[in-house]
Each structure stands twice: as C-alpha cells, then as structure tokens.
Structure 1
Amino acid sequence: MDLFDQLEEWPRELLPHDGSVEYYGSIMSLPQADHFFEALFNTIEWRNDEAVIFGKKIITKRKVAWYGERPFTYTYSNTTKTALPWTKELIELKAMAEAESGETYNSCLLNLYHDGSEGMAWHSDGEKDLKTHGAIASISLGAERKFAFKHKNSKEVISQVLDHGSLLVMKGVTQTHWLHRLPPTKMHHGPRVNLTFRTIQTYD
C-alpha cells in the first residue's frame, strides 16, 4: 500500500447503479497475506470443479472447496457440494471480512487458479441456496488479477484489479442486474486463491 492508497478513501464504490460493489483494497499486511495464501494453498481440501452442461460433465482445471459453519449443501452448475468444517485460517479471514463489511457470513466457496490461463466465465451468484440479496465478501490472495462486471441490459463493463490481500463486497441487487467474471490472461501470473464468504439461507 503506497502513499496514494493511504490518502484515498476506502471502500470505493465500483458500480454506478443497480447494485453495490465496494472495493476495500488491501485489508491486511503483506506478511499476513503471504501467510494466509501459503496456508490455504497447502491445507484446503481442493478438488477440481465439476459442472453439468447439456447433460455432459465438465471437469475444470480450476480447483474449488466449500466450507461452512454447518454441513450446508450448495448447488450450482447442476452439481451439489456439502460444506466442510471451518479451518483456523478461514475463521480468521471470515472475522476480517465481517469486521470490514459490517455483514455476517456462514459459508465460504474457495477457488484456486493455478495461473493466468484459468478464469471464470460471465455469471451471477443467484442460486436458491443463498440469502436473497445477501452480501458476498471476496478476499483475493496471491497473483493480482482483473475482475470485471457487465450490466445485463446495458452491457456496460466495469473492471477492477484485485490486489493481494484485498477485499471486495457485492451486495444488494447486484446479482440481479450484473454479471461478473475473472477473465483469463496470457500475461504470466502465478497462482491465486479467492475466497467468497456467503450466507446460506437457513430457516431455523
């Protein structure tokens, strides 16, 4: 974080309308970010992601993991995952995200991108398992990558480079009106771990 970052007011609102995406920049020191990246890279139970598209199972290079305070099930891309129990590092990062955003979360979907060739296509996180209009807190660790939003009607595109140790929070009606993606890049990038803290809807 340089002098200009210190002078800038955080968080910064990225969307002009139809939702809210707040970018907080780095919320931890560089040693902390390095520590969490190494710990998650080496201890999370990573699995290649699966999707069923037109009846055909697709296995991605990107790896994922699903954790939570209970064994929540989460269904997307026609596949269902059951949450593993929190690890020490996930509890610490969840506390950071909650303190910064003023929101609470009960689950986390993690993604591991090995290099710049791996990304995520345009989508919105509107699965029925998630709390309606609930906040999603995204912490980025490792290689810096560009993250993009596209309005579903106007096709307006807004991008933000996500720094190592940074936090971005999507909330309100963002998922209703905007798609988002992590575009692949041919530039040389090392691995990146992304955590998206979410709230699974409960009825008790």
Structure 2
Amino acid sequence: MLSTQFSSYRIDIVDAELYYVPNWLSQHDCVSSWYQQLADELAWQQDEIKVFGKLHRIPRLQAWYGDAEASYRYSGQSMQPRPWSSSLSRLRHALAHDQLVFNSVLANWYRDGHDKMGWHSDNEPELGRNPTIASISVGSSRTFQLKHRITSKRIDLELEDGSLLIMAGPMQHFWQHALPARKRISQGRINLTFRQVAQL
C-alpha cells in the first residue's frame, strides 16, 4: 500500500492499486514547458521489434535512462540506460519527495495521435513481483486503456498534461494496459514511466 498521501487519489478497481493525480507537476512548482524540454533533451530513437519473425519499427520514439546497473529487457530488446539527464533527475527528485524511489525511467514520445502502444503488462522479472510504476504525462491528453485479464473488464482514463498515474500492488498480474491511436490528435505527448529495476 502506498503512502496515505495518495489515498484520496485511489481509483477503485479490483486486483490492483491504481492512483491518478491530476496536475501533479504543478504541485511541485515545476515549469510548464516540460514537453518541449524533454523533446529537445532526451536521446530519442525508434526501435524495432520482431513480430512473427519480421522486424517492425515501433509506432513511437523511446529513450531509456537510469542508474548504471539498471539494464532492462523489454519486448525482446536489451536496453542499457543512459545517465540521468537534468530534467529527468529533477522529476526523479520530485517523486522521491513523495516517497516514490526509482532507479530508471522509460520515456515514450507519441508524436501525434498515430503513435500508440499495444496491450501489455509491465511484468518483466527485473521489476519484481508487485512493481510500483509512476507514469508522468506531459503534452496532449491521451486515453489510457486498462483490461482485466480474467474478466475482460475495460476502463478508460484520460491522462492529462502534468498528471501522475501510479500502478502498484498486484496490478501487473491481473491487468493489461494500452495507449490506442487517436488519429484526430495532432499534438504530441511524452510519457515517463519511472521504475525500480533489480539486477537478476
């Protein structure tokens, strides 16, 4: 269970701890130009994944940052972290102020509504049994979808600029999540998912 400071932000769903804090960035007196800062500062790349033996470019840009030992395997890729950038360090410090401590972050840049993320769970062994993942969104609002693995119950959340979403407890065992395409959206969104990666 997370600190009681988040209790009023908890979303009531089964088999999970899920918290949504709108305007979290402004609560920490952060500047309003985070989207452009991160777009300019991070070393973005468009990775490829293998699906049924064929390589496909993922429909978004990515960057992986963290402590030196925080290597990570994701969708068959082995990712070595770049050293913390100044902006990511500031956000990491703000999370630590709220008793959320992480050693790495996966940044995803959805350049417009055509970029997306398919259904998945963050259940890689390096994240531990019941990982806590803090997801910060900046830029255009996008719909974050959740689907229960057993009941197929669906939930849609609109993640707004400056918001914080926290996934914790057994959530990654029971729920998948996705960010579907929204072709009418022309503006970009950057999402930062802070994680604690263990050495296996």
TM-score under structure 2 length normalisation: 0.90
Q: What do residues 109-168 of structure 1 show as CA deviations (whole Å, max 9, x unaligned)?
A: 000001011111111000112132120000000001111110001000111111101100
Alpha-carbon separation, structure 1, partners of 2:171 and 2:59: 28
Query: What SS is found at the alignment partner of 2:181?
Result: coil
TM-score under structure 1 length normalisation: 0.88
Query: What SS is found at the alignment partner of 2:136?
Result: strand
Are the structure 2 counterparts of residues 27 and 176 from structure 1 closer, same or farther at C-alpha, using a change threshold of 3 Å?
same
Q: What do residues 88-118 of structure 1 show as CA deviations (whole Å, max 9, x unaligned)?
A: 1101111222333x22100000000010111
The unaligned stretches of length 5 or more in structure 1 are 1-8
CA shift, 1:71, in A, is 4.5
User: Which residue of 2 is the match for residue 172 of structure 1?
Assistant: 169
Q: Does 1:96 align with 2:94?
A: yes
Alpha-carbon separation, structure 2, partners of 1:93 and 1:107: 11
- After TM superposition, list the pairs within 5 Å mapping 1:148-163 onto structure 2: 148-163=145-160
Alpha-carbon separation, structure 1, partners of 2:95 and 2:79: 23
Q: What do residues 32-65 of structure 1 show as CA deviations (whole Å, max 9, x unaligned)?
A: 4532211110010000022122222211231000
The unaligned stretches of length 5 or more in structure 2 are 1-5
CA shift, 1:28, in A, is 2.1
Identity among equivalent positions (%) equals 34
RMSD of equivalent CA atoms? 1.9
User: Which of 162, 179, 188 is residue 185 of structure 2 equivalent to?
Assistant: 188
Which letter does structure 2 place at the counterpart of 1:49? D
User: Which residue of 2 is the match for residue 53 of structure 1?
Assistant: 51
Are the structure 2 counterparts of residues 55 and 26 from structure 1 closer, same or farther at C-alpha, using a change threshold of 3 Å?
same
User: Which residue of 2 is the match for residue 76 of structure 1?
Assistant: 74
Q: Does 1:17 align with 2:14?
A: yes
